[in-house]
Amino acid sequence: MRPLRIGNASGFYGDRFDALREMLTGGPLDVLTGDYLAELTMLILGRDRLKDPRLGYARTFLRQLEESLGEARDRGVRIVSNAGGLNPAGLADAIRALGERLGVAVRVAHVEGDALPLPEGALTANAYLGGAAIAECLRAGAEVVVTGRVTDAALVTGPAVWHFGWGPGDLDRLAGAVVAGHVLECGTQATGGNYSFFAEHDVRRPGFPLAELSEDGSAVITKHPGTGGVVDVGTVTAQLLYETGGARYPGPDVTARLDTVRLTQQGPDRVRIDGVRGEAPPPALKAGLNRIGGWRNEVVFVLTGLDVEAKAALVREQMAAALGKPAPAEIRWELSRTDRADAPTEECASALLRLVVRDPSAEVVGRSVSGAAIELALGSYPGFHVTAPPGKGAPYGVFDAVYVDRAEVEPVAVLPDGTRVQTPPVATTRVLEPAPEPALPEPLPAGPVRRAPLGLVAGARSGDKGGDANVGVWVRTDDAWRWLAHTLTVDRFRELLPETAGLPVTRHVLPKLWALNFVVEGLLGEGVAAQARFDPQAKALGEWLRSRELDIPEALMAGERKAGR
């Protein structure tokens, strides 16, 4: 069968608005997907739904369709998106109404069944569904399919099952589609966005990615001709490592073995993915719970010029009384020395002292804290000012990942004619276990070394999964891999990133990708919505690691320079 040409036009709720139209008009496609959901997004949609029960879906998607629905219909491109969020039926109705208003007859279907009974205190509770119900909708002739909470890769596995007629036992094929879907799901992160070696390419406006998915489960990742950015083994490797854990990558359709993935540069902006092996999916489905965790407030004091440490100590002492009547459950101070001596601008001469307080009570972290900070304006350190007027505080969210038995979840495909089809559970499952540790390569022979940043020879990408963070680190030559695999141990990782020193850290080895993936448990506290640290989603954790210095063989750095990198 001919390959399925499937693209992506959104990596998150708020991504480039005109991407959907650009992908439709930029070249041939069979299916266009859009990923709008993340842990934080579900919390946002949950709060929207509290204000208006008719909401709960990504309204941006509806506005994008207003200018592109006719184009998709004329070109015969099916659109599949998880923009339905907490209310896929409501979004499906809104799309039908939009079609009537535009004079575009469109067949709309939706997927539901992910919503779970709300535990006490939860705002949202949703299981991650697979692609089977999406495939059912497409088989019924749907031109637009919107879902609730599905895995990001399900937006690709569903169309693939529909197009190729795969069954639940086609595990290797399904795993190949999962890997392709994981590469596509974050949009331009696969085409040079957020890329460690960004200076090597023009990534000012990277195009969105697409996959040419073949019947055997292999795929070629590429982009429309003439669009910006780049698709190479490095950009695809980076995205493969993003927000993953061990070699087994579990999902509701299949468990994909990331340690079997083979990447080959097939030509300019064309990377082939093949060799992917699949195993039966785990018996439990992941589910995400969002709840309001309490109240949070923040004040950022600006300390300029001389005596920064003394100024910070003074304001902390002055605020102590206000923070003790009663004391918030959590008080955190962080002094960021962004200042430098003899600075040419006032901003360059200034440091930031950040105060973050949290408590179950809004009153404890509200105006009592903000008022105390403002009252210091004329009676504290010289040059007193803050980056923004302190407010009354705001609620923060908490994300919990739980696992539910598949029997408790009933995915339903609601077809264009309103027929409801319940998709059966997979017949075979396999308990998820860690993959065996692969053998390490032969160490690189000893030679001259130089103290230098890790990023001169290694790329990295990091992200969040609930309260945990992952940092994927990869290199681009076999010699660099022989060095990295033996050098960047868990102990060295903790040494380079002291914030991780007291936390559980697991290292996963992926030799075919010349990559190591580190999972740090608990670094992000209760998840992104809780904003437990300066970088709440660990987006820059990998770049911090790349900036840290260690002894690197001079031959590796010379090789990078010789390659023009």
Which CATH number do you get for residue 373?
3.30.70
Indicate whether 311 and 379 sit together in one domain: yes
Residue 139: its pLDDT value, please? 98
Q: Which two tokens mark 509?
A: 């080895």
Indicate whether 359 and 414 sit together in one domain: no
Is residue 206 a part of any domain in this protein? yes
By the 8 A CB rule, do 550 and 487 touch?
yes
DSSP conformation letters of 49-61? HHH-TT--S-HHH
Indicate whether 65 and 93 sit together in one domain: yes
Please check the confidence at residue 562 and state whether its pLDDT lies above 70.
no
Angle, CA of 388, 392 and 396, to the nearest 5°: 95
Domain boundary among 392, 411, 431: 392
Q: How far apart are the first and last CA of the chain?
A: 40
Sort residue 113 into left (φ over 0), alpha (ψ -120 to 50) or beta. left
Is residue 512 a part of any domain in this protein? yes
Please check the confidence at residue 565 and state whether its pLDDT lies above 80.
no
Is residue 432 a part of any domain in this protein? no
> 531: pLDDT confidence band, cut at 50, 70 and 90?
confident
Entry pTM = 0.95
Is residue 380 a part of any domain in this protein? yes
Residue 560: its pLDDT value, please? 80
Closest to 72 (Cα-Cα) out of 36, 108, 112: 108
By the 8 A CB rule, do 178 and 277 touch?
no
Indicate whether 274 and 339 sit together in one domain: no
Domain boundary among 373, 392, 411: 392
Q: What is the dihedral of CA 216, 217, 220, 225, to 10 degrees?
A: 90
Question: In the predicted model, what is the mean pLDDT of residues 356-362?
Answer: 94
Closest to 290 (Cα-Cα) out of 395, 152, 400, 396: 400
Indicate whether 461 and 553 sit together in one domain: yes
Which domain does 474 fall in, by range? Answer: 449-562
Question: In the predicted model, what is the mean pLDDT of residues 5-14?
Answer: 98
Number of domains present in the structure of the chain: 3
Indicate whether 380 and 272 sit together in one domain: no
Indicate whether 11 and 119 sit together in one domain: yes
Distance CA 93, CA 78 (A): 17
Distance CA 220, CA 179 (A): 11
Whole-number average pLDDT of the chain: 96
Distance CA 280, CA 426 (A): 9
Is residue 435 a part of any domain in this protein? no
Residue 564: its pLDDT value, please? 60
Indicate whether 263 and 352 sit together in one domain: no
Percent of the chain with pLDDT over 90: 92
Residue 559: its pLDDT value, please? 79
Is residue 248 a part of any domain in this protein? yes
Residue located via tokens 């992506």: 8
Indicate whether 460 and 477 sit together in one domain: yes
Q: Where are the alpha helices (DSSP H) in 26-170?
A: 39-51, 59-75, 88-102, 132-139, 154-164
pLDDT digits (tens, 9 = 90+) for 381-440: 999 999 998 888 999 999 999 999 999 999 999 999 999 999 998 989 999 999 999 999
The alpha carbons of the chain give a radius of gyration, in whole angstroms, of 25
Question: In the predicted model, what is the mean pLDDT of residues 479-488?
Answer: 98
Secondary structure (3-state) at 37? coil
Is residue 438 a part of any domain in this protein? no
Indicate whether 46 and 162 sit together in one domain: yes
Indicate whether 91 and 110 sit together in one domain: yes
Lay out the sheet containing 209-213: strands in order across: 262-267, 270-274, 219-223, 209-213, 4-8, 31-34, 78-81, 144-147, 108-112, 412-414, 420-422
Indicate whether 175 and 141 sit together in one domain: yes
Is residue 431 a part of any domain in this protein? no
